Amino acid sequence: MLEIKLIQRGFQENLVLIPGWAADYRIFDSLGLSYNYLAPVKFSPLNFAAELKTRLDEYAVEKVSLLGWSMGGFLACDFAAASPERVDELILLSVREKFEQGYLQEITEKIRKNKRAWLYKFYLGCFSKSDFEGRSYFKKELLKDYVDGISLGELVNGLGYLSKAKIDTGALTRIKKIRIFHGESDAVAPVEEAGKISSCLPQAEFISLPNLGHIIFLNKRFKAAFYG
């Protein structure tokens, strides 16, 4: 069941923060955007859209913006497609149209053999070589907790969702405002694929960030681009 925390920060608009695979809401702690936050503290990607709608009803929140990073981008699109009337803006970070089955199967096999070692390498590979700011923050604040604390079952569950997930641009035609941010040095989700998604959405703005990798939002240049 989805557990979501409403964080009142003194702003008028509400933003749902949806983390990616092998991460949780804490990855957004340094974001500093001008919204109240709705942060999933416990969730499964399965049935996310329906459960989010239920939680919003419980909080009496009528409309939200959605910020989905990586796997969270698929989940944000799931909700936007199902409940477009409740979406102010759809913000997608480091997304791709879909993941290849062979790639996901390879990850499954490797984390079953040595989850900790594979995750350590994966996380650090989510940053470009020049993004010292983002990488150092992650290593100090999150790396150990994520490597030790995220269970194999949670990881496999997420990979199962990703094996079926696909961004259907045709289902997003009723979303009036869409922004897609992507690092040009993303080794997980090629920037060209994100550009292709954007080109199918006339209402979308595509913002590419040079010299940033898959985790783009721990670098101050992301916030500058967000409000640029």
Domain span holding position 13: 3-226
Statement: residue 197 has pLDDT above 90: yes
Q: How many domains does the chain fold into?
A: 1
**What would the mean pLDDT of 47-74 be, rounded to a whole number?**
98
**pLDDT tens-digit profile of 213-225?**
999 999 999 999 9
**What would the mean pLDDT of 9-21 be, rounded to a whole number?**
98
pLDDT band (50, 70, 90) for residue 67:
very high
Which of these, 85, 98, 95, 2, lies nearest to 47 by C-alpha position?
Answer: 2
**What would the mean pLDDT of 20-41 be, rounded to a whole number?**
98
Distance from C-alpha of 121 to C-alpha of 167, rounded to nearest angstrom:
27
**34: Cβ contacts below 8 Å, ≥ 6 apart:** 11, 13
**What would the mean pLDDT of 36-47 be, rounded to a whole number?**
94
Statement: residue 45 has pLDDT above 90: yes
What proportion of the chain, given as a percentage, has pLDDT over 70? Answer: 100
**What would the mean pLDDT of 19-34 be, rounded to a whole number?**
98
Q: Where are the alpha helices (DSSP H) in the chain?
A: 48-58, 71-82, 101-124, 132-141, 143-149, 152-162, 191-199, 220-226
CATH number, domain with residue 198: 3.40.50.1820
Structure-token pair, residue 42? 């416990």
The pLDDT value recorded for residue 1 is: 83
- Residues composing the chain: 228
**pLDDT tens-digit profile of 180-195?**
999 999 999 999 999 9
